[in-house]
Chains A and B, each alone.
Chain A
Amino acid sequence: MDRILLRFSEENVAEPITSQVILELGIPMRIVTATINSLGGDILVEVPAVHLKKIVKAFRDKGVIVKFPKLIEVDYDKCFDCGACPCGLCVDACPARAITLVEQHRNHPK
């Protein structure tokens, strides 16, 4: 399974794009996190690696920005449990500099 981040804008968030892609391709996706409202937002989904290219193209064709998130690693020795890192703000919001991003081990379509 691969993780991709779907970024919706204020313009396209009202449309049922995720459902459309699932119905059109018949490929199941697992939603990991979703931070989204009427102004847009992000959905992080896990998709089968063999169908990755197809799924990315389908979302991009519908105007969704698709990103390949790096994996987040937290150094718990450095972390002092403040709350400064809600989703999307993470790395540069961490005053303890305890968060780093690592590449997923895979060649993603650009």
Chain B
Amino acid sequence: MSTTKKGNGRSIAEINQKIKSGDVQVLTAEEMKKLVESSGVEVAYKEVDVVTTGTFGAMCSSGAIINVGHSDPPIKIQRAWINDVEVSHPGAAVDLYIGATMMSETEPFEYGGGHIIEDLIAGKEVELRATSYGTDCYPRTKLNTTLTKDDLNQFYLLNFRNCYQRYVCATNSRDEIIYTYMGKLLPRFRNASYSGAGELNPLMNDPDYETIGLGTRIFLGGAQGYVIGEGTQHDPTDRFGTLMVRGDCKQMSPEFISGGAFTKYGTSLYVGIGIPIPILNKGLAKKTALRDEEIFTDIVDYGVPRRARPKLGKVDYATLKSGKVTIKGREIKVSSLSSLKKARKISETLKSWIENGAFYLSAPAETLPTNSACNPMKQTGEIVFVNSVAHEAVTCSVDEDIKSVAQRIISRSVNHVVVTDKEGEIKGIVTSWDVTRAVAEGKSKLADIITKKVFTTTPEETLEAASRKMAQHHISALPVVDRDKKVVGLITSEDIAKLRGR
């Protein structure tokens, strides 16, 4: 990229000159959109030098690299824990990487790597425990000490996938609550969640990555940091771009870096990122005027535990931010996992830094790839799905008497009879145990012994997920139903046991 273009366009060098002289014109992305709406792209391009963006959300693929200095006698750390969270030791002797999602062994799901990073940034003391096998040059085998950020030689945030350009809206078709990285999802589409700042998102305001790449100076966790390339799983053609970033944690603030805990899912790190978009040309003025109404994402069913989760429709960020979304014809509550308030604060803070001459723009040495793809895993093992194991279900209707169901259990030699209506839709399940108990208790009406709340599986579910469901709920069979709740088969724990014994 040229930094000395004259006449046609603005250069980063020119903008930095204006920052130095105090003449720079900066707007937040939200202000820019209003200006373009009221005065048009031409005026906005002439008047605005920089547009600031911001996002604050859970970014699991984050962590910090620390160097704890050498002990005496020295140790070549093999395994290490900070506040009971295992941290990895990928290097020579005393460099540790604190992964955001690593969980405490004593307080799993509540405290993890993300919280250690926050605690250290906040100035708190943490406990380091390490073990090793001992070598001639590194004889020590055990270590216990306490550390604060001042005791660390280096303390850098090194996040390998941050700042997703946009993200999906998650909901749940299952009959049970599921706990995911998209939060708690209630049964039968009773709520939805989303993440992302929409029109304030950094990559959305420079969707062709004209100004963002290796070496772009950014707001990171309350300090100045850098983009160091595209993030892992960067998927630009689908507008799911990501960033790899680095920043000095010792300069950061816990206001913009927080540990997070997702019930029954795990821990993470909330990261605040803001990127200044230099308005180098009219095209960028237009692109930074993009509105929430124009940013669409898929509504995805997280109830289906597969890589390609079913898409139920599309929704724009303006609708998401309104708090209500329509799924399957019903309006339901949609909540944000990321913080729009913090995203705004980041864009405003970055704006004031630039206006006050505390932040200069940098041209990237290399911009982000615009045509790479995110491919699925190459798998060598065979995955078994429910449809290849399920067999025909023995069924009955609600109005049959217990005796005829008992006869069917004997004649078909099964333990489970699925209750269906005329259309074949599932209404319940009766087991041989239920029938036995009915006899013991003198009950004769089938309706009295039916289990109406039935856990089910689908043909596309993996056998592993189905068997986990059975174990979780202490049941021995799952009716297989299609999307319309019609019974298409049954799978029992015996079927799974037989398969395992193969």
Q: Which residues of A contact B (CB under 8 A)?
A: 39, 80-86, 89, 92-93, 95-97
**B341:A95 contact, CB within 8 angstroms:** no
Q: Is the CB of B56 within 8 A of A95?
A: no
Q: B110–A97 contact, CB under 8 A?
A: yes
Judging by beta carbons under 8 Å apart, are A82 and B337 in contact? Answer: yes
Q: A95 contacts which chain B residues (CB < 8 A)?
A: 58, 183, 260-262, 268, 270, 337
What 3 A-B pairs come out closest when comparing CB atoms? Answer: A95-B260, A83-B336, A81-B341
Given A81-B342, A96-B260, A97-B110; A86-B191 close (CB under 8 Å): yes
Whether a CB of chain A sits under 8 angstroms from the CB of B263 is yes
- Min distance, Cβ A18 to any Cβ of chain B, angstroms: 22
Further 19 A-B residue pairs, CB within 8 A, beyond A82-B57, A85-B335, A97-B110: A39-B190, A80-B339, A81-B339, A81-B341, A81-B342, A83-B335, A83-B336, A83-B339, A84-B335, A84-B336, A93-B183, A95-B58, A95-B260, A95-B262, A95-B270, A95-B337, A96-B258, A96-B260, A97-B261
> In the complex, which residues of chain A have a beta carbon less than 8 angstroms from the beta carbon of B342?
80-81
Residues from chain A with Cβ under 8 Å of B242 in the complex: none
A84–B262 Cα distance when bound, in Å, is 10
Chain B contacts to A: CB under 8 angstroms: 56-58, 110, 183-184, 186, 190-191, 193, 258, 260-263, 268, 270, 323, 333, 335-342
Contacts of A92 in B (CB 8 A): 184, 263
Contacts of A82 in B (CB 8 A): 57, 336-339
Task: State whether A84 touches B337 (Cβ < 8 A).
Answer: yes
Separation of A82 and B320 alpha carbons in the complex (Å): 13
| Interface majority SS (helix, strand, loop, mixed), chain B | strand
Alpha-carbon distance between A89 and B262 when the two chains are bound, in angstroms: 12
Cα–Cα, bound, A85→B440 (Å): 48
A89:B184 contact, CB within 8 angstroms: yes
- Looking at chain A's contact residues, the main secondary structure is loop
Chain B residues whose C-beta falls within 8 Å of the C-beta of A86 in the assembled complex: 191, 333, 335
Residue in chain A with minimal CB distance to B255: A80
Chain B residues, Cβ within 8 Å of A80: 56, 258, 270, 339, 341-342
Cα–Cα distance between A80 and B58 once the two chains are bound (Å): 11
A84–B193 contact, CB under 8 A?
yes
Q: How far is the CA of A84 from the CA of B183 in the complex (A)?
A: 7
For A83, the closest partner residue in chain B by CB is B336
- Closest partner residue, chain A, to B341 (CB atom): A81
CB proximity of B108 to chain A, nearest CB, Å: 14
Chain A residues positioned under 8 Å from B270 (CB to CB) = 80, 95-96
A39 / chain B contacts, CB cutoff of 8 Å? 190
B328 → chain A closest CB, angstroms: 13
Pick the most buried of A80, A81, A95: most chain B CB atoms within 10 A of its CB.
A95
CA–CA, A80 and B184, complex, Å: 18
A-B contact pairs, 5 of them (CB 8 A): A84-B193, A86-B333, A95-B261, A96-B260, A97-B110
Residues in B neighbouring A84, C-beta threshold 8 A: 183, 193, 335-337
A contact residues around B258 at 8 Å (CB): 80, 96
Q: In chain B, what residue has the closest Cβ to A92?
A: B263
Whether A93 contacts B333 by the Cβ 8 Å rule is: no
Which residues of chain A come closer than 8 Å to B262, judged between CB atoms? 95
CB distance from A91 to the nearest CB of B (A): 9
B477 to chain A, nearest CB (A): 27
- Give the interface centre of B183, B191, B261, B262 by most chain A CB atoms within 10 Å: B183
In the bound assembly, the distance between CA atoms of A95 and B111 in angstroms comes to: 11
For the complex, give the distance between the alpha carbons of A95 and B56 in Å. 13
Identify the closest chain A residue to B336 (Cβ): A83
Q: Hey, which chain A residues are within 8 Å of B260, CB to CB?
A: 95-96
Which residues from A are CB-within-8-Å of B186? Answer: 89
Q: How far is the CA of A84 from the CA of B181 in the complex (A)?
A: 12
Interface centre among A83, A96, A97 (most CB of B within 10 A): A83
B193 to chain A, nearest CB (A): 7
In the complex, the answer to whether A89 meets B261 with C-beta atoms within 8 Å is: no
Query: Shortest distance in angstroms between B336's beta carbon and chain A's nearest beta carbon?
Result: 4
- Determine the chain A residues whose CB is within 8 A of the CB of B323 once the complex forms: 83
In the complex, A82 Cα to B183 Cα: how many Å? 12
* Residue from B58, B184, B258, B261 whose CB has the most chain A CB atoms within 10 Å: B184
- Complex: chain B residue closest to A95, CB-CB: B260
Is A93 within 8 A of B336, CB to CB?
Answer: no
Name the residue of chain B whose CB is nearest to the CB of A80: B339
CA distance A82 to B98 in the complex (A): 24
Q: With A and B bound together, what is the CA distance between A80 and B56 in angstroms? A: 9
A6 to chain B, nearest CB (A): 18
Q: How far is the CA of A16 from the CA of B193 in the complex (A)?
A: 32
Assembly CA distance A84 to B110 (angstroms): 16
A93, B339: Cβ atoms closer than 8 Å: no
Chain B positions within 8 Å of A83 at CB level: 323, 335-337, 339-340
With a cutoff of 8 Å between Cβ atoms, the chain B residues found around residue A81 in the complex are 339-342
Please give the distance in Å from A79's CB to the nearest CB on chain B. 9
| Alpha-carbon separation in the docked complex, A22 to B74 (Å) | 76
Q: Which residues of B lie under 8 Å from residue A89 when comparing CB positions?
A: 183-184, 186, 191, 335
CA distance A80 to B55 in the complex (A): 12
A17 CB to nearest B CB, Å: 22
B58 partner residues in chain A, CB cutoff 8 A: 95
How far is A39 from B187 in the complex, measured between Cα atoms in Å?
Answer: 12
Could you tell me the distance in whole angstroms from the C-beta of B333 to the nearest C-beta in chain A? 5
